[in-house]
Structure 1
């Protein structure tokens, strides 16, 4: 009976380890091991998959890892909004378009980790790598928003910055997220061909 009780409590241990953060399977496993709880990776993966299916956890892929977070949290952040909209707008160029939008909105170079959070491919064309003296400031600021930037994350800027194109992308994002038609007057006096 005690064994069954321990089995039913494992999901609570996993939730406690995630504790409002986003963590990989390896990160969760290491945290549990540090507390003296040894759980085989396959068993842990099974629990995580079941918790995703039950709606307790959310899963997202940030290559090469699968990242888990508590489902009760609002993970509808700027990165998921931009990434989702840019994939719908133009799947092939979603990475570059996401870079342009974030660069415009944040008024700074964008970390590759931020693009990974958008779930888009890292663009390789029409971008330049930046070595900014403000990198540590950016990392600190993002850390305050619970966004961890690894040392290996590179800062990128778009080479050809097109404000008219950005306006079109931002309009698409807003129209994707909100029903803008309720604020618009549709011209019903259109001319027809006779």
Structure 2
């Protein structure tokens, strides 16, 4: 973590980074530091830029997850089974967007199975397709659309709350509720 703080946007050479680390009380052999930085570059966490005679290491731009990936991850945290995770994801996306969800969209959640829900009516599918196409998305005619069969209102609300809380860094303001009695 400290290395990323020291690299910032401009990046640093191994020599400059080593000196900065020593100023902060961290003493690493340069070969170890070089190996660590190269490993991070291989994993695409850092970028290497040649500025002879040195290499400059910069933080790579991290791609932000889209709403589909986030909903899929949050549903996975809350689903009791892969089927329930599937249904929660479909319900959340459908509720969030107010329309049927296409297979291609659903795959972006990270769930590889077919959505568990009913196939959208022709009218629901056309309405969803028309909206997406007006937003610049292309939907193949073979791409089926789905609507949820089960409702997960409470979990949907929890997922939205967690997304907002995490995205805006509000977790320190949220009171954690501890259950003191077992309710049956």
Residue equivalent to 1:82: 71
**1:107 lines up with 2:98 in the alignment:** yes
Sort the Cα spacing of 1:136 and 1:157 in 2 relative to 1 into closer, same or farther, 3 A. Answer: closer
Residue equivalent to 2:13: none
CA offsets per residue over residues 115-148 of structure 1, 9 Å max, x none? 11111134554x1111232534422432344433
Residue equivalent to 2:10: none
Contact 1:111 1:155 in 2 (8 A): yes
Residue equivalent to 2:143: 153
Q: Structure 1 CA distance, aligned partners of 2:159 and 2:144?
A: 24
Question: 1:72: how far off?
Answer: 6.4
Sort the Cα spacing of 1:139 and 1:116 in 2 relative to 1 into closer, same or farther, 3 A. Answer: same
Contact 2:72 2:110 in 1 (8 A): yes
SS of residue paired to 1:133 = helix
Residue equivalent to 1:184: 174
SS of residue paired to 1:156 = strand
Sort the Cα spacing of 1:118 and 1:144 in 2 relative to 1 into closer, same or farther, 3 A. Answer: farther
Where does structure 1 differ by over 6 angstroms across 4 or more consecutive aligned residues?
Answer: none
Question: 1:150: how far off?
Answer: 2.1
> Rg: which structure is higher?
2
Structure 1, unpaired ranges of 5+: 1-51, 56-70
CA offsets per residue over residues 19-57 of structure 1, 9 Å max, x none? xxxxxxxxxxxxxxxxxxxxxxxxxxxxxxxxx9657xx
Q: Structure 1 CA distance, aligned partners of 2:175 and 2:159?
A: 22
Sort the Cα spacing of 1:75 and 1:140 in 2 relative to 1 into closer, same or farther, 3 A. Answer: farther
Aligned residues: 122
**1:165 lines up with 2:176 in the alignment:** no
Sort the Cα spacing of 1:182 and 1:152 in 2 relative to 1 into closer, same or farther, 3 A. Answer: same
Normalised to the residue count of structure 2, the TM-score between the two structures is 0.51
Normalised to the residue count of structure 1, the TM-score between the two structures is 0.48
